[in-house]
Amino acid sequence: MGVHRHDRSSAARPRQRPRLVLPALLGLLGLLLAGCAPLGPTGAKLEGDRLTDLRPVRPGGTLQIALASDPDRLDPTRSSTLVARQVFASMCEKLYDLDQNLQIVPQLAAAPATISADQKTVTIPIRQGLKFADGTVMDAAAVKTSLDRHLTLKTSGRRSELANVASINAPDPGTVVLKLKQPDASLLSVLADRAGMVMSPKALTELGDEFSQRPVCIGAFRFSERIPGDRIVLDKDPNYYAADQVGLQQVVYRIITDGSVRLSNLRSRDVQVGDQMDPVSVGSMAGDNALQLFSSGSLGYQGIYFNLNNANGIGNPPGPVNSAMAGDKRLRQAFSLAIDRNLLNTIVFQGLYQPACTPIAPGTEYADPAQSACAPRDLQRARQLIAETGVPTPIPLELTIPNTPESSRIGQVIQAMTAEAGFEVKLRPMEFASSLSTSQDGQFQALAAGWSGRIDPDGNITRFVKTGAANNYSGYGNPQVDDLIKKGVATNDTAARRDIYKQLIDVVADDAPLIYLYRQSNLVVATQQISGIRVYRDGIIRITEAGYTS
């Protein structure tokens, strides 16, 4: 979280045992429990991860998947949302993918990459004979076209991910060679995400900036139509190299933002898969033999971004923001200290999520156990920090949140907790797509947002806190952080990288441009008639082998 530090600085360590439940908070939580949608059985528990169902499936049929929000652009270069990645997983394959153990495996690449002794030349063999959905052939030149676009397009969300790439060459139809400015330990994990997605050069030329309206890639399914806010339809692609292994004829992604409505549609079988199901819905389906739960731990996090200098929009010169929180990190530290992450998890999520205070998931290769243990709530220290600033209370703060029942509950709990310290939080609910443009344009004081997570720590850090990065919503910049980011990818030594990221997280925690609150579990519900979907820790639902049971 924003002030969880290990240098024993006064802003870092709690001075007293926290008051876990205070009168105002009790009153609010009583209202939540009585007046909102029921929070469900508090005894709901997850009994380990369940990643897939291997029952045999019959060919044919249409699979309806309920998504929690409407994807942004269906353009791998410019997209920035997890929900868009759900759709891409069915229609836009990558050079590399992740298996169920989060190991990087070839997808459109023919084999693992070869890396030179100085770690500055990466050679990628490309599979031959594969066709895009428009029937044109994929070769190394096509891969180069997509990588060049990811790297150079002004509106690309991939530029910071590929920032260490100096040049891209295709010396023959089966080989792509990347020359790097410096060694980059994160590169292959980047190529296992949107930066590794390969688009049809023909479609890119014909459609230009309108590519997202009719995207053409390589995948089990191809784009058919999109009705914004309602549905995205994909049809089975006969050009797909493994079309004989794809059972479904069609996939329809339906936009259903309310978790209880997603559950109702699952029970009525109007949809067969529900993405991002909330713990309330999961708790209420206990004993329902018509439904099945898939679950996995998450690599990502949910938190709050404070707008420090993003007055003119990302990519434009920074400017002052009209918010007391922007001017003094002690206020942001106090805000973080005022939040009881364990209680938030218990009340809103029935204890099915995890408190979070760093961008790296606990138990992963680069996580520091001491850093991952969040400091408890400390109202006395929070009030002391506010008093030191001289800013009069209550301190106003507008918090932009998604307009969903769950986000409203989260916002109200944060409102009550931080009010005890001296903050006056006003909630600003906003439709998901609108909040994306709002965050990019810098039209917010504080923003509740999350990240689905990546296997390499750089993927959870750089794009949010590096000066000028694509998702640096806060407009934050710190030369020390930028230097540590550079060092973090310049070595493949795990112990050295772990130490670098520990230092980096400490610096960012002290500056507190964003604070981490909780780590979701990936909860996906399907009807019992569906088999073959796969739900890994990256949060993506893989449906290439899915279908209706025999």
**DSSP labels for 469-536?**
-TT-TT----HHHHHHHHHHHS---HHHHHHHHHHHHHHHHHH-SEEEEEE-EEEEEEETTEE--EE-
CATH class of 93-204: alpha beta
Strand, helix or coil for residue 314: coil
> Closest Cα to residue 225, out of 204, 193, 247, 254?
254
Annotate 85-105 with DSSP letters as a single string: HHHHHHH--BSEEE-TT--EE
The pTM of the full predicted model, rounded to 2 decimals, is: 0.83
What average pLDDT does this structure show over 411-438?
93
**Distance (Å, rounded) from C-alpha 151 to C-alpha 154?**
9
Query: Using CB atoms within 10 A of its CB, is residue 239 exposed (0-12), middle (13-18) or buried (19+)?
Result: middle
Encode pLDDT of 261-274 as tens digits: 999 999 999 999 99
d(CA 282, CA 47): 13
The larger pLDDT score, comparing residue 443 to residue 41, is at 443
What pLDDT is attached to residue 45? 53
476 vs 6, higher pLDDT: 476
Higher pLDDT, residue 49 or 200: 200
Instruction: Dihedral sign for Cα 224, 535, 277, 456, please.
Output: negative
Q: Where in the chain is the domain with CATH 3.40.190.10?
A: 58-92+219-297+522-549
- CATH of the domain spanning 58-92+219-297+522-549: 3.40.190.10
Q: What is the pLDDT of residue 404?
A: 84
Eight-class DSSP state of 167: E
347 Cβ contact partners less than 8 Å away, ≥ 6 residues apart: 29, 32, 39, 413
Query: Is 334 within 8 Å of 465 (Cβ atoms)?
Result: no
d(CA 20, CA 1): 17
Q: Is 538 left (phi over 0), alpha (psi -120 to 50) or beta?
A: alpha
Total count of residues recorded for the chain: 550
Minimal CA–CA distance to 125: which of 145, 102, 101, 95?
Answer: 95
- Four-residue CA torsion sign, 465, 346, 533, 70: negative
H/E element holding 462? helix 458-465
Q: Looking only at Cα atoms, what is the longest distance across the chain?
A: 70
314-333 pLDDT tens trace: 888 898 898 999 999 999 99
Per residue in 366-381, pLDDT (tens digit) is 999 999 999 999 999 9
For residue 434, what pLDDT is reported?
Answer: 83
* Cα gap 336→325, rounded to integer Å: 12
Phi, psi of 514 (to 5 degrees): -145, 155
Model confidence at 39, in pLDDT bands (50, 70, 90)?
Answer: very low
Residue 116 has pLDDT above 90, yes or no: yes
CATH 3.10.105.10 in the chain, residues?
301-519
Q: Which of 367, 194, 402 is nearest to 297 (CA)?
A: 367
Q: What residues have CB less than 8 Å from 238, skipping those under 6 apart? A: none
- 108 closest CA partner among 286, 307, 241, 275: 241
Q: Kindly tell me if the per-residue pLDDT of 407 is higher than 60.
A: yes
Helix (H/G/I), strand (E/B), else coil: 237: coil
Alpha-carbon gap, residue 222 to 139, rounded angstroms: 19
Two tokens, residue 394 = 């209550």
Indicate the pairing of strand 114-115 with strand 175-180. unpaired
Q: What is the pLDDT of residue 28?
A: 53
Closest by alpha carbon to 147, among 191, 207, 189?
Answer: 191
Would strands 231-236 and 57-58 be described as parallel, antiparallel, or unpaired? unpaired
Sign of CA dihedral 287, 293, 297, 303: negative
Q: What is the pLDDT of residues 128-171, one digit of tens each?
A: 999 999 999 999 999 999 999 999 999 998 998 999 999 999 99
CA 324 to chain centre: 28
**Rounded to whole angstroms, how far apart are CA atoms 77 and 209?**
11
The position carrying tokens 């063999």 is: 125
Task: Return the CATH number of the domain spanning residue range 301-519.
Answer: 3.10.105.10
Instruction: Give the pLDDT of residue 190.
Output: 96
Angstrom distance (rounded) from CA 76 to CA 71: 12
Beta pairing partners, 180: 165
Question: What per-residue confidence (pLDDT) applies to 25?
Answer: 53
Check residue 11 and give its pLDDT. 33
Query: What pLDDT does 456 receive?
Result: 94
Euclidean distance between CA atoms 106 and 120, whole angstroms: 20
Percentage with pLDDT > 90 across the chain: 77
Predicted local confidence at residue 27, as pLDDT: 58
Domain limits, CATH 3.90.76.10, in the chain? 93-204
The shares of helix, strand and coil residues in the chain, as percent rounded to the nearest 5, are 30, 20, 45
Cα distance between residue 377 and residue 334, in whole Å: 10
Instruction: Say yes or no to pLDDT of 29 above 60.
Output: no
